[in-house]
Structure 1
Amino acid sequence: MTTGGWDRVPIAAQTIEATLSQFATFLVLEIGPGDDDLATARDTIAGIDDLLKTVGFRDLSARLSCVVGIGSDAWDRMSPGHRPQQLRRFPRIETAQHVAPSTPGDLLLHVRAERSDLCFEFVRIVMDAFGSSVTVGDETPAFRYFDARDLLGFVDGTANPVGRELTEAALIGDEDPEFAGGSYVVVQKYLHDLATWASYGADLQSEIVGRDKADNTEHPDAETGQKAHKTLATLEVGGVERAILRDNMPFGRAGSGEFGTYFIGYAGNVTVTLTMLRRMFLGDPLGMYDRILDVSTATTGTIFFAPSAEQLSQLGG
């Protein structure tokens, strides 16, 4: 994550550029099949601002924020015949070596704060509001690790855009005016084999990632052959780099041997994010995949649309 992101300030729900936080909770939900289930879910997410205020006023310096994303199937139920141009299900990527699975998800709540108890309390009252209308597909509490490193030991999100570039990269613009100000959100939950990773040693780890582990300096891009993670996860079109906003966070339970990274990428053009992932899994050239995948297994993969705050509020009954 970039240090330039630390001056981003949340204003309300759906503030994509909310401050990179000490803590986060990623909540993926499935809406029940009934009309009452749908109505309750719609009303709850439409009133998310009021729920934020209920918890956030207790410590304004903790900068509690939440972004709500809506999956493709759920959007069709909420607004049939009226959908963002690029909203779709996550396309499964499968090779002989690795798989990026496609997993279900109707709603995503990306909750951020400087205090873990505020994340917990907000999720608690949101789930009370949803009641029996939803079931939990995945709940992942996450945390900032040292100087914004992942559990592999490297600084994460260094190439994040800032300022005007952030808006251009993360938000839909005039190309889909009806949904301008919204964002496509891709999430994947990765589990890491830290024992194998540790056996590589710092030099090989830095070669695989493409950055020095100690000071985060970039290694030169390989002209041919095997490319590093930072190169494969970077997309250039016509000589211009196409960025996304990453708010990845580490998570884990050391006593259970669970260590991971929750990838979350916001983009105004979801094809940019998906192309980056295809480059990682398929390789460039083909077959020379991202070697970080040998120790990092994707267990989920879902695309959501995060509407603007105004559009979100209009979904309620």
Structure 2
Amino acid sequence: MDAGGRRVPFDAQQVDAPLSRSAVFLVVTIGPTPEQLRTALEVVAGIDDLVKSVGFRDLGANLSCIVGIGASAWDRLGRSDRPAELHPFVAVDGPKHTAPSTPGDLLFHIRAERPDFCFEFERLLFEQLGDSVEVVDEVNGFRYFDARDLLGFVDGTANPTGRGMADATLIGDEDEVFAGGSYVVVQKYLHDLGAWNTLTTEQQEAVIGRRKADDVELDDTEPQRAHKTLATITDDDGNEFDILRDNMPFGSPAAGEYGTYFIGYTRRLWVVERMLQRMFLGDPPGFHDRILDVSTAATGTTFFVPSLQLLEGIVDGATAS
């Protein structure tokens, strides 16, 4: 049984690992040959051993790596089944802003309390992968003060805790073969801090829906809703569906690049998809999330995060691809 009392027959990857001070978000595509596929999958199958090899040097660094598999890569595994909701990221073309869909066969979400552990793990990871993959995107994230984003607001306040964590993130009996797995959506957002900083604190708070200093929720406005409202998904009965965010700031002041890497783990992929539709299309239509006026989505990719048992056996059947 998991923390929510549901039967999960497999051990999940560390989706619920504590928020870290450092992270690397690495998205790659696998080369076209069967040999490249097999090499990449052998590395993926042994990822837990690599975590142990690096992590034992300081257990307090809490090194972890979650692996996600994209829809195109899943189709090359030679399996007759697939996770019920797994499909490529669906682009959202709003009247003013777009959430693009970008390639990605594998996601490596590397986390640690020390950046040197993330660095060493990634170095050894590429040593094993060799020329089997091509990098699509690599982002080095960091904890910014008291878990704030570069817009100055606390990020991740609405994350589930305790018993609600497993229910929000882990697939259960509704897709029994893939129980213990999860879906994850990643997007890289680039911020126009110059435009953002022309707004008063009160105007920024109205966009986010929280007070900047103490993170207290503010009452919403109609018809223009705040970011925190548009990113909250409920059913017709008012039941709220949580996701687990492990967003991190990234940037280079010298290059003038500032951003937030969104990463959302969920048991129900449709929840994240509906959240993005509300943000980019507006709810009601035409009233898009005003955070998008200063935050541009540069990437968008969806992955399935298998259970550890499924991950360790991922090579089987793929050699003929």
TM-score by length of 1: 0.95
For the 8 Å contact 1:184–1:269, the answer to whether it is kept is yes
1:76-155 aligned within 5 A: 76-155=75-154
The 2-side partners of 1:67 and 1:15 are apart by 7
What residue is the counterpart of 2:189 in the other structure? 190
Deviation at 1:13, TM superposition (A): 8.2
The 1-side partners of 2:275 and 2:295 are apart by 16
The 1-side partners of 2:23 and 2:315 are apart by 26
For the 8 Å contact 2:95–2:286, the answer to whether it is kept is no
What residue is the counterpart of 1:234 in the other structure? 232
For the 8 Å contact 2:12–2:181, the answer to whether it is kept is no
1:132-177 deviation per Cα after TM superposition (whole angstroms, max 9, x unaligned): 0001000100000000000000000100001111100011111100
For the 8 Å contact 2:95–2:281, the answer to whether it is kept is no
What residue is the counterpart of 1:310 in the other structure? 309
Deviation at 1:24, TM superposition (A): 0.3
1:166-315 aligned within 5 A: 166-222=165-221, 224-237=222-235, 238-315=237-314
What residue is the counterpart of 2:6 in the other structure? none
1:206-236 deviation per Cα after TM superposition (whole angstroms, max 9, x unaligned): 01000000110000133x3100000000011
Single out whichever of 76-85 and 12-21 deviates more from structure 2. 12-21
Instruction: Give 3-state SS (helix, strand or coil) of 1:196's partner.
Output: helix
For the 8 Å contact 1:44–1:316, the answer to whether it is kept is no
Instruction: Give 3-state SS (helix, strand or coil) of 2:271's partner.
Output: helix
Instruction: Give 3-state SS (helix, strand or coil) of 1:27's partner.
Output: strand
Percentage of matched positions with identical amino acids? 59
For the 8 Å contact 1:73–1:106, the answer to whether it is kept is yes
The 1-side partners of 2:40 and 2:98 are apart by 32
Structure 2 vs 1, CA of residues 68 and 76 (structure 1 numbering), >3 Å: closer, same or farther? same
The 1-side partners of 2:274 and 2:165 are apart by 19
Structure 2 vs 1, CA of residues 79 and 170 (structure 1 numbering), >3 Å: closer, same or farther? farther
What is the aligned-residue RMSD (CA, Å)? 1.0
Which amino acid in the other structure matches residue 228 of structure 2? K
Deviation at 1:79, TM superposition (A): 3.8
What residue is the counterpart of 2:46 in the other structure? 47
- Gap runs ≥5 in structure 1: 1-11
- Find runs of 4+ consecutive structure 1 residues off by over 2 angstroms: none
For the 8 Å contact 1:28–1:137, the answer to whether it is kept is yes
Which amino acid in the other structure matches residue 224 of structure 2? Q
Deviation at 1:70, TM superposition (A): 0.2
1:161 aligns with 2:153: no
Instruction: Give 3-state SS (helix, strand or coil) of 2:164's partner.
Output: helix
The 1-side partners of 2:156 and 2:277 are apart by 18
Single out whichever of 233-242 and 289-298 deviates more from structure 2. 233-242
What residue is the counterpart of 1:16 in the other structure? 15
The 2-side partners of 1:27 and 1:201 are apart by 35
Which amino acid in the other structure matches residue 250 of structure 1? P
The 1-side partners of 2:123 and 2:21 are apart by 19
The 2-side partners of 1:297 and 1:167 are apart by 31
Instruction: Give 3-state SS (helix, strand or coil) of 2:263's partner.
Output: strand
Deviation at 1:80, TM superposition (A): 3.2
Deviation at 1:81, TM superposition (A): 2.3
- The answer to which structure has the higher helix fraction is 1
1:27-46 aligned within 5 A: 27-46=26-45
Which amino acid in the other structure matches residue 271 of structure 1? W
- Gap runs ≥5 in structure 2: 1-10, 317-321
